[in-house]
Chain A
Amino acid sequence: MSLTDHRTQLQDCETAAHVSGDTDAAPTGLSGVVGTIIEQSDSIEFQIDDAQEVLLFDLDAGGSTFSVNMEDMTVYMMIKAGTQELFANLGGLFCFGDGADGAGGDIIGYNCVGGDVPGFPYEFGFFGMKLDVSEVVASPGVNDVDYYQYNGTEAGMNHAAVLQIGYGTFSLVKAVSTSPNAWCDGIYYIANGSYAVSVIGGTSGTPETMVDVVGDDITDGMGLFNNPKGSEYGFFGPTQWGAASGDTYFTSDGEQWYFIGDNQGGAAIGATHFPFRLLGGSGTNSWVLTSTVIVNVGTRAQFDMSHASFNTATMDGCSLVGFGTIEMPGGTTKTVLSTIFSDCDQITNNGGDMDGCTILGSIVGTDVGALVYNEAADPDGTLDNLTIEKGAAAHHAIDFGTNVDSSLVSITLRGIAFDGFGASDDSNDSTLRFLATTGNLTVNLIDCTVDGVSPVASGGGQNFSVDDAAGITVTVVVAPVTLQITVTDEADLQPIQNVQTSIHLADSPFTELMNEDTTASGIASESYAGATPVDIVWKTRKSDDLDDPRYFAQSGLGEVTSGGFTLSVLMKENTILP
């Protein structure tokens, strides 16, 4: 197992001389004391007083001056400081200077963490903090609320040529003598949209686990993964599994993962700057998750499992909460089964089986699908037994893309439970939407339900709808269920032929669902395509004058469910009648 840190390490905090003279968090020095180090052999110690003060570096890890265009970067820093003010009081700032040491440039600290915003808790009381600079470039906010001006003005800050970088804070406890009360051990940056770290390694016999990932992170002092307790793991940076070459085998079972898209409050990462993906290549890759719950807080991560070269990607019995767009895997060795997606953005099925998955409270916008299917193949066997519950917007359950066209002739949706979607065709919240523009397509619904009852696709009581306004003509066929009554003689347990059987609606006695005589096998049956469940009254009768023998008539109440209605009746011969 190994982790590859793709960030640029701007400062390793191994040399006191790298601290800028514009620093006013004084005194500063080098600490080699265990407990104050997470990376290499030293950290920079400094003293923060009960006023806004700043630690700045004007030299990089190699001892050279630097000038970095930070406008579209995310910066990371590892800090140990225990008495920070609250976030609302500018408790922990990511600081930049656009002037050389002593040149009097703008020195601005952007509000990032605080005493009530913990960042990313790490070893020895260190915490990671991160700032998406593009966010503060676009919306710096208000002086003394969102940023602090140590020197110059925020308006004058040149983010395109940052010459100094560091940490600012306000200590709630007045500093004593010259003792340090804070330590810094690592500053990094990476271009937005990139992946901060890759996880690779493992073998088929010994796949790697999160225990290995966190162990390697601590070894390198990266601050991108943590293990706060038990089987709970944190992800702080954009992460990818796999590489262009080499094998990757990973497994997780019964864990809880948290993707931190902000600083657990505080400064949030930009909308598309916190991605996650699986990356295949020339090696063999396997990523198998079972019963693992993955929760995204802060900015939503895009969750991409679709890379074609990734060999095996499997999730079974997992749960994803609060994610952005999700790309499901494709191919037969990549499945996501019985997994719950709650409060997530649009999910795209790329051909992989997602039998039994549940999509709850999708956050998609108006007139799009919570789930997208755009494969040139019948989804029967791929989308079986889904549950899709509408979110807040007027949206569809499934968008079928242009590849689902008339060449398929018909498709089958099997065992899907639709909940909360509109009953009107060609509407923003129609159950299904089709984007193909010509031809005809039949959609067979087998064992599907709408709000707990059988689908009704047209006419009175319609509860299932299609938006095919793009041009294709879609016909919905609700597959019928079977009503069947088997009649047997109570005395000899032999089937009775020509028994009159009937089934009527319980609340509408004149609505007949079945009226058939039993066959030589004692069976009467009929198909039914109406709504379910529905209460019925059944009757069996063989007592006309010409019947020989004659039987006591029987009747009772029952229910036709989505599986139909099946009943066995034992009839007793009436020997009293002449």
Chain B
Amino acid sequence: MITIIARWEQAQLPPVVEYQLWRQIKGAFKVNRIIFVPVIPGLDEYHLEQYATLEEALDATVGAGERVFLEPSGYNPIVDIPQGDIVLITGNTNNNNLALANVNETYSIASPAPTHLYPSEAAAIALAIRHGQ
């Protein structure tokens, strides 16, 4: 079972567009559940699971799997992401989640330049490698 907790990329992407990006990842990798934080109003017709804070989202996924924080400065390489049930947690342009993660729960993607990926891009790479690429 795969659960994703994503911070809305409020700074640079309209939420409907970002939702569509996540939706494709959900379909491609058979993600069971996607949770967004914070709550963005006006998206009722999309039936999204949203929480006001990341803390609330983490509380709602206790027991759903091992926590995998995708961070540019993460400690583990993404090839070490567990194969069992996981909760994949991403930040956004303005916020990382390091304050809520243990060091050994953080994972990073090696890239030749310091440009940060959008969360959905990072999640796609991580899930692809976990799937056996």
A51 in contact with B28 given A24-B23, A151-B33 (CB within 8 Å): yes
Contacts of B49 in A (CB 8 A): 21, 102
Asked whether A71 is an interface residue with its Cβ less than 8 Å from the other chain, the reply is: no
Which residue of A has the minimal Cβ distance to B32? A151
Asked whether B41 is an interface residue with its Cβ less than 8 Å from the other chain, the reply is: no
Asked whether B114 is an interface residue with its Cβ less than 8 Å from the other chain, the reply is: no
Contacts of B20 in A (CB 8 A): 49
Q: Are A49 and B47 in contact (CB under 8 A)?
A: no
Q: Are B47 and A26 in contact (CB under 8 A)?
A: yes
A51 in contact with B47 given A150-B32, A151-B32, A151-B33 (CB within 8 Å): no
Q: Are A29 and B45 in contact (CB under 8 A)?
A: yes
Asked whether A490 is an interface residue with its Cβ less than 8 Å from the other chain, the reply is: no
Asked whether A27 is an interface residue with its Cβ less than 8 Å from the other chain, the reply is: yes
Chain A interface residue count, Cβ-Cβ cutoff 8 angstroms: 22
Nearest CB of B to A109, in Å: 13
- A29 vs B45: C-alpha distance when bound (angstroms): 6
Asked whether B27 is an interface residue with its Cβ less than 8 Å from the other chain, the reply is: yes
Instruction: Choose among B19, B27, B45, B48 the residue that contacts A53 (Cβ–Cβ < 8 A).
Output: B27
- A307 vs B28: C-alpha distance when bound (angstroms): 56
Instruction: Choose among A24, A53, A178 the residue that contacts B16 (Cβ–Cβ < 8 A).
Output: A178
Asked whether A467 is an interface residue with its Cβ less than 8 Å from the other chain, the reply is: no
Which residue of B has the minimal Cβ distance to A56? B47
Nearest CB of A to B131, in Å: 15
Contacts of A20 in B (CB 8 A): 47
Contacts of B28 in A (CB 8 A): 51
Q: What would 9 more interface pairs be, CB under 8 Å, given A53-B27, A151-B33?
A: A19-B47, A22-B47, A23-B47, A26-B23, A49-B23, A51-B26, A51-B27, A52-B30, A104-B33
Interface of A toward B, CB cutoff 8 Å? 16, 19-24, 26-29, 49-53, 102, 104, 149-151, 178
Asked whether B102 is an interface residue with its Cβ less than 8 Å from the other chain, the reply is: no
Contacts of B48 in A (CB 8 A): 21, 26
Q: Are B23 and A28 in contact (CB under 8 A)?
A: no
Nearest first, the 10 closest Cβ-Cβ pairs linking A and B are A51-B27, A27-B45, A26-B46, A23-B47, A21-B47, A27-B46, A28-B45, A151-B32, A29-B45, A26-B47
Asked whether B24 is an interface residue with its Cβ less than 8 Å from the other chain, the reply is: yes
Interface of B toward A, CB cutoff 8 Å? 16, 19-20, 23-24, 26-28, 30, 32-33, 45-49
Which residue of B has the minimal Cβ distance to A48? B27
- A21 vs B27: C-alpha distance when bound (angstroms): 18
Nearest CB of B to A390, in Å: 52
Contacts of B30 in A (CB 8 A): 52
Main secondary structure of the interface of A (DSSP, over half): loop
- A24 vs B49: C-alpha distance when bound (angstroms): 10
Nearest CB of B to A148, in Å: 9
Nearest CB of A to B25, in Å: 9
A16 in contact with B24 given A151-B32, A178-B16 (CB within 8 Å): no
Q: Are A52 and B46 in contact (CB under 8 A)?
A: no
- A104 vs B12: C-alpha distance when bound (angstroms): 31
Q: Are A24 and B32 in contact (CB under 8 A)?
A: no
Instruction: Choose among A28, A150, A151, A178 the residue that contacts B47 (Cβ–Cβ < 8 A).
Output: A28
- A16 vs B28: C-alpha distance when bound (angstroms): 28
Which residue of B has the minimal Cβ distance to A170? B27
Nearest CB of B to A501, in Å: 91
Q: Are A52 and B32 in contact (CB under 8 A)?
A: no
Contacts of A24 in B (CB 8 A): 23, 26, 47
Instruction: Choose among B19, B24, B32, B33 the residue that contacts A51 (Cβ–Cβ < 8 A).
Output: B24
Contacts of A19 in B (CB 8 A): 47
- A53 vs B19: C-alpha distance when bound (angstroms): 14
Q: Are A51 and B23 in contact (CB under 8 A)?
A: yes
Contacts of B27 in A (CB 8 A): 49-53
Nearest CB of A to B45, in Å: 4
Nearest CB of A to B64, in Å: 8
- 14 of the cross-chain contacts (CB-CB < 8 Å) are A16-B45, A21-B49, A23-B47, A24-B23, A26-B19, A27-B45, A28-B45, A28-B46, A50-B27, A51-B24, A51-B27, A52-B30, A150-B32, A151-B32
- A339 vs B24: C-alpha distance when bound (angstroms): 57
